Amino acid sequence: MLLLAFCCFGAMSATAQDKAKAAPAPDMPLSVTQHQITLNGQPLRYKVTTGYLTLREEDGKARANIFFMAYTKEGVADTRTRPVTFTFNGGPGSSSVWLHMGTAGPKRILMSDKGEALAPPYQIVDNPHTWLDDTDLVFIDPVMTGYSRPAEGVDRKEFLGYNEDIAAVGDFIRLWTTRFQRWHSPKYLAGESYGTTRAAGLSGYLQDRHGMYLNGLILISAIMNFQTARFEKGNDLPYALFLPTYATIAWYHKQLGSEFPDLKTLLPQVENFAMNEYTLALMKGDRLTDAEQKAIAEKLSKFTGLSVEYLLQTNLRINIQRFCKELLRRERKTVGRLDGRITGFDYDYAGETNEFDPSYNAAIYGPYTMAINDYVRRELKYENDLPYEILTGRVQPWNYNNVQNQYLNVSETLRQAISKNPYLRVLIANGYYDLATPYFATDYTIHHMFLDPSLRNNIRMTYYESGHMMYIHQPSLVQLDKDISAFLSGK
């Protein structure tokens, strides 16, 4: 009896040890800090929760540590009526820093009113245009961006692709919503650039996988149909859709004639030409006669400021990289891709493309990198020695196996999501000087979703005289705040 009891006790101990070895490691501790900002003359107290949520398999095995920063308003009597907005940027490979420190968060990097960098060291200031007065905010860094990384022993490739990314971010949103008891709250997604691709994809994934129906999407500088932005032989669509943005940038830099005193005069003419005569010319290809080619080149020159000779040499097809180099070549300047208002200087002025994007490298990269690295430690009291990946190439190659031999087009996912949930509203913010995601390409995408007429008013488009990050331009920041506030209040 004594021997049997001893053996059983020994067996139980071994089992307990095995269970202890198999038990998942606890989530890493979160940093929680209290803050206050004055908005419209009134104090707003808020809490910031910073750190990792660990995505796990159902058996408890860790898959990834997702870094987030959550802003929640203090003193809310019932969070069931308080909206929460899950926010991320694009790339793919971008952290959430741009929307966080540019427009949505209660702190922002100080820029010139135009949106150019000031002299370093840069300054972080209160943001009177934060969205926090209307909604709680959760800033998400997808895997390999910010501080987010795969769990030990997990291949990062499991997260680096359209489907993989949608699942990881969608599962994070479900987990955060569950942990912090916000299932009853109105829920929104806000994405910028590829983040709009992600948001549209999530509108379907969250519905179909987790039964989570959203109240709205905020899409800043949207791209949903990648065919509209791929300059490849055989795909003529971008040449017509980028033309209005080429024209706005040429107008801004005074490369057009006096017949266009403002954008209101210019844009209807160039849009009409792009949709009709120019599109038909592109369709004809080399069947155009010499006279027809010259006539189209002359109109393109009128709208772009590029020479007729140059346009004929390009077969009437203006590549985005060439445009950035060619427009101000005589002034020995290049124009930005993210924001065509911003100019830069190259070593080789005879080159075909610019050396760097001045609207990224010279305007925003340095200030925003400083801002997030200083802010996270100094104000949010969160310490992490990993590099905070602002916009990284470590996500490449990005997996598009879900659309082999075709262009990714998530507008169909969004159409289905709205059809299933007719209360889902969408706000799309567009910058006139944005060559990364041109406004006319977004307009084309929306008008080719073929939503039922009763649902078309679910989507609203707004426009700003700025670029991809329209909020770096002070007047556009002010207007964007008003537009998003109205959207969140249901107006």
pLDDT of residue 28: 84
351 and 390 co-located in one domain = no
124 and 243 co-located in one domain = no
pLDDT of residue 27: 81
Residue 179 lies in a domain: yes
Higher pLDDT, 143 or 22: 143
80 and 155 co-located in one domain = yes
Could you tell me which of 308, 346, 315 has the C-alpha nearest to residue 329?
Answer: 346
Could you tell me which of 470, 468, 379, 366 has the C-alpha nearest to residue 109?
Answer: 366
Pairing of strands 425-431, 216-222: parallel
The yes-or-no verdict on residue 9 having pLDDT over 60 is no
Q: What is the pLDDT of residues 64-98, one digit of tens each?
A: 999 999 999 999 999 999 999 999 999 999 999 99
* Whole-number Å distance between alpha carbons of 155 and 175: 22
pLDDT of residue 8: 36
Residue 22 lies in a domain: no
Q: Supply angle C-alpha 337, 343, 347, rounded to 5.
A: 100
With the CA atoms of 272, 275, 276 and 280 taken in that order, what torsion angle do they form, in degrees rounded to the nearest 10? 150
pLDDT of residue 3: 36
350 and 369 co-located in one domain = no
206 and 297 co-located in one domain = no
329 and 371 co-located in one domain = no
pLDDT of residue 1: 32
Question: Which CATH number belongs to the domain containing residue 105 in this structure?
Answer: 3.40.50.1820
Residue 5 lies in a domain: no
Sequence-distant (≥ 6) Cβ neighbours of residue 328 within 8 angstroms = 253, 255, 334, 335, 343
76 and 112 co-located in one domain = yes
118 and 57 co-located in one domain = yes
Q: Which residues pair with 37 in a beta bridge?
A: 44
- Count of the separate structural domains present in the chain: 2
Q: Which of 317, 339, 356 is the last residue of a domain?
A: 356
**Where residue 4 falls among pLDDT bands split at 50, 70, 90?**
very low
Q: Which residues pair with 52 in a beta bridge?
A: 67
Residue 21 lies in a domain: no
Mean of all residue pLDDT scores within the chain: 94
DSSP annotation of 101 reads I
Enter the pTM of the model.
0.94
Q: Which of 293, 328, 356 is the last residue of a domain?
A: 356
pLDDT of residue 395: 96
Domain with 414 in it: 31-227+365-488
The yes-or-no verdict on residue 21 having pLDDT over 50 is no
Contact present, 485 and 134 (Cβ < 8 Å): yes
Q: What is the pLDDT of residues 148-167, one digit of tens each?
A: 999 999 999 999 999 999 99
Residue 16 lies in a domain: no
Contact present, 185 and 80 (Cβ < 8 Å): yes
105 and 50 co-located in one domain = yes
CB atoms within 10 A of CB 231: 16
DSSP annotation of 198 reads H
Residue 8 lies in a domain: no
204 and 251 co-located in one domain = no
pLDDT of residue 454: 97
369 and 308 co-located in one domain = no
**Where residue 24 falls among pLDDT bands split at 50, 70, 90?**
low
Q: Which of 356, 387, 415 is the last residue of a domain?
A: 356
223 and 233 co-located in one domain = no
Longest dimension (CA), the chain: 107
